């Protein structure tokens, strides 16, 4: 699916990362750089949530209401998997 909100967020994040590269080039204070990286990570979390929300309300609902048990099992397993990874990154 095309998710304009997620795309806009990623473009902003890309600019944010280029800003952090300049901070390193300038020899900025390490802790300030780490804080900016943490801000990018928070922005990436919001982007994931935007995409997950769209996914649940479209693909997941379609799969669960559909007649294919393998497809149903697959979409549910994927939710558990990304949740598992989310608790690790």
Contact 45, 83 (CB under 8 A): no
Please give the angle made by the CA atoms of 60, 87 and 9, to the nearest 5 degrees: 65
Q: How many CA atoms lie within 13 A of 57 on its CB side?
A: 7
What's the rounded Cα separation, in Å, for the pair 63 and 76? 9
Q: How many CA atoms lie within 13 A of 81 on its CB side?
A: 6
Of the candidates 39, 10, 8, the one whose C-alpha atom is nearest the C-alpha of residue 23 is 39
Window 4 to 63, contacts with its own copies (CB under 8 A): 6-7, 10-11, 13-14, 17-18, 20-21, 24-25, 27, 29-31, 33-35, 37-38, 40-42, 44-45, 47-49, 51-57, 59-61
Window 57 to 76, contacts with its own copies (CB under 8 A): 57, 59-61, 64-65, 72, 76
- Which of 67, 68, 70, 84 binds its own copies (CB under 8 A)? It is 84
Minimal distance, residue 70 CB to its own copies, in Å: 14
Site for its own copies, rule CB under 8 A: 1-3, 6-7, 10-11, 13-14, 17-18, 20-21, 24-25, 27, 29-31, 33-35, 37-38, 40-42, 44-45, 47-49, 51-57, 59-61, 64-65, 72, 76, 78-80, 82-89
């Amino acid at each position: 699916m095309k998710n304009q909100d997620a795309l806009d967020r990623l473009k902003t994040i890309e600019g944010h990362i280029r800003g952090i590269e300049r901070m390193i080039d300038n020899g900025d204070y390490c802790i300030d750089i780490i804080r900016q990286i943490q801000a990018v990570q928070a922005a990436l979390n919001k982007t994931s949530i935007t995409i997950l929300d769209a996914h649940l309300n479209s693909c997941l609902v379609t799969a669960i209401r559909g007649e294919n048990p393998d497809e149903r099992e697959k979409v549910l397993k994927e939710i558990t998997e990304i949740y598992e990874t989310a608790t690790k990154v």
